[in-house]
Amino acid sequence: MNGALEPQVNLAAQRQIEALLGQLGRDGEGTDPVSQAQISGLRTVLCLLQSECGPLSLSQRTELLRAARGYARTSTLVTSYLLDEALTQVG
């Protein structure tokens, strides 16, 4: 990001992401790798937005950023797996 979002925009974005996460959860988070990658990506962004929102202590912000890093790693791993599977099917 190039800078912090306006508080209203940040909260609106958080609500949209939470709604998407709820929708994906209802549709069956389960073992579907595509859903897992989507959920991890959304959770990454949500943690990043939350880390920029409101008065947080250094430890709270660090915790959110570490969670974002963990979700980003999961998203990368699952996406890599999906790409490998797709390339294997192609040829």
Q: Rounded to an integer, what distance in angstroms lies between the CA atom of residue 72 and that of residue 64?
A: 12
Q: To which residue do tokens 């709820």 refer?
A: 22
* pLDDT per residue as tens digits for the range 13-65: 999 999 999 888 776 556 688 888 999 999 999 999 999 987 899 999 999 99
Tens digits of residue pLDDT in 57-83:
999 999 999 999 999 999 999 999 999
40: which residues sit within 8 A by CB, 6+ positions away? 71, 72, 74, 75, 78
3-state helix/strand/coil string of the chain: CCCCCCHHHHHHHHHHHHHHHHHHHHCCCCCCHHHHHHHHHHHHHHHHHHHCCCCCCHHHHHHHHHHHHHHHHHHHHHHHHHHHHHHHHHC
Q: How confident is the model at residue 12 (pLDDT cuts 50, 70, 90)?
A: very high
pTM of the model: 0.83
